[in-house]
Amino acid sequence: MMKKILMPISIIGLLLLVIGPVLFAAGKVDLPMNKNILLVGTILWFATAPFWMEHSKN
Amino acid sequence: MTEEKELLIISPDNEFERESVPESHTKGLRSFVGMYAGEHAAGTEFAIGPLFLVHGVSAANLMLGLFLGNLMAVLSWMFLTAPIATRVRQTLYFQLERIAGVKLVKLYNIANGLMFCFLAGAMVSVSATAVGIPFNMKMPQLNDTMPNSIGWVIAVLVIGFVISIVAAKGYNTVSRFANIASPWMVLVFLACGIAAMPELGINSLSEFWPAARDVIWRGVPVEGQSQFTFWHVFFFAWFCNMAMHIGMSDLSIFRYAKKSWHAISTGAGMYIGHFMAWISASMLYAIQLQADPLNTTVAPGPMAVQIAGLTGAICVIIAGWTTANPTIYRSGLAFQSLIPKCSRVTATLFAGGLATLAGLFPALAMKLLDFVALYGLVLMPMGAVILIDFWVLPKLGMKSFFAEAAKISFHWGAGAAWILTLILCLVINKKFGLEIFFLAVPGWFLAAIIYIVGSMIIQKQRTA
């Protein structure tokens, strides 16, 4: 159950790591915003992935 | 290197250390793809990419050299390492002991342990460049060989101390953390590359190549640095993991593979870490040079921060830390094997201390390309010995695994193949000026010939 909730959040975190730079490269956001998006993606990933990734391995 | 992979090789609980892996414990292609994909997005990639720019590699030479060099690396794993690994299914160390004797394996362990210490030292240096940012630490310069500031010394000592303690006491925790960080790290490298584009004047895909050629990789080395050609890039990409493929270290990994072609999985690591990540890191350095052509220091921390902010700094620290952790641990195990009475914790702390000491000297990170080439070269001859022993000796009417068969603890033929090859490579380097990046080519054939001749003599003596 927990995996079903946390895994999509982790994936969103990873997606943000790509979306931020792509938006920056397309001129849709500025560099500070790109850095903020990357940080949000990082926080989402590390706040959620350890729970379901470890769980999966077990 | 992923901790998952390291655990497979060096965990104290590792099974089948002195026997062949049974068919029932072999793994499919997917296990290896995931392992290798994360393995090569390490802290050192942040330093290697920029060093290509320092040496004035042109865009075409870089792209083609990396593409073909990495292809050769994958083929080396597929056609040199994996076929032996899946037939014998034993670790490198056990095979080497059976071929060359237990005493020679101990010597090999010392060399391996020391090389790992220096590699870990480079990773500590890389992490220190990120940790020092909030303290406005003076970064080491490209030509610095000695520590350049008290701040640098403190940063390296603190990081080295923490990494060593953790490697000795909490290895498995960091291993698990590294597995979690792995996909994130790969994407941060990609993010850095994408976000670097507009900063380098690339606003559409069609603008990439002109900018790559005229702005980023212009083919002009930084003043005082040697000029790299296509061949430098090609051989560096091929040989930077030489210890693992031609040197046969990954016998320990692929002994678990169901089929030898599963070594194609190494392509995931090569083209993510040694293509995409190196190019991204190179672009970060290009931005730094564009902003200030005189700022030639290779400091991964500030480079990543300029484009990825705090995420970049975290990535540099984690990439350095998670890769230094198994490297120090593995080095500790190598040293421990020499003094069995010494505890693993003490041996790991000793290795960590040595790595920290090495990390104090920026020359290690600034000359990382040379060091990585040396690391592969030093361990390569034993790979040649293993390959010749397995495929060629039986065809010449000689026995494989002769040290085991004749109960000898030091096969001087194998020892000569190792030491003489390295001496001859040094002579070739000094007398003929052949650079370290190319020495493995003649070196491999020298090692093979010396081992065949040595085996002929020793097997004739012993069976007479």
Q: What is the CATH number of the domain that holds B210?
A: 1.10.4160.10
Chain A residues within 8 A (CB-CB) of chain B? 13-14, 17-18, 20-22, 24-25, 27, 31-32, 34-36, 38-39, 41-42, 45-46, 49-50, 53-54
Pick from A18, A24, A28, A33 the residue to mutate for testing the B interface (most B CBs within 10 Å).
A24
Domain extent, residue B237, equals 3-368
Is B1's pLDDT higher than 70? no
Domain ranges within chain A, ordered by starting residue: 15-48
Task: Give the SS3 label for residue B226.
Answer: coil
**Identity of residue B120:** A
Cβ pair B188:A17 closer than 8 A: yes
Distance separating the N- and C-terminal Cα atoms of chain B: 47
Cβ pair B203:A27 closer than 8 A: yes
Give the Cα separation of B181 and B440 in Å (integer).
34
Q: Tokens standing for B81?
A: 């390492």
Give the Cα separation of B291 and B327 in Å (integer).
35
* Interface subset of B 150-179, CB within 8 angstroms of A: 176-177, 179
Position A54 scores a pLDDT of 65
Residue B230: closest CA among B388, B76, B56: B56
Residue-wise DSSP of B97-138: HHHH-HHHHHHHHHHHHHHHHHHHHHHHHHHHHHHTGGGTPP
pLDDT tens for B364-421 read 989 999 999 999 999 999 999 999 999 999 999 999 999 999 999 999 999 999 999 9
Residue-wise DSSP of B62-95: HHHHHHHHHHHHHHHIIIIIHHHHHHH---HHHH
pLDDT tens for B301-332 read 999 999 999 999 999 999 888 888 888 888 88
Domain for residue B388, yes or no?
no
Q: What is the ipTM of this complex?
A: 0.95
Domain count for chain B: 1
Higher confidence at residue B215 or residue B169?
B215
User: Closest chain B residue to A21 measured between Cα atoms?
Assistant: B195
Domain for residue B13, yes or no?
yes
Pick from A9, A17, A19, A39 the residue to mutate for testing the B interface (most B CBs within 10 Å).
A17
Position B2 scores a pLDDT of 39
User: Closest chain A residue to B184 measured between Cα atoms?
Assistant: A14
Counting Cα atoms < 13 Å in the Cβ hemisphere of B329 gives 27
User: Closest chain A residue to B188 measured between Cα atoms?
Assistant: A17
Give the Cα separation of B304 and B185 in Å (integer).
12
Average pLDDT, chain B: 91
How confident is residue A56, by pLDDT bands cut at 50, 70 and 90? low
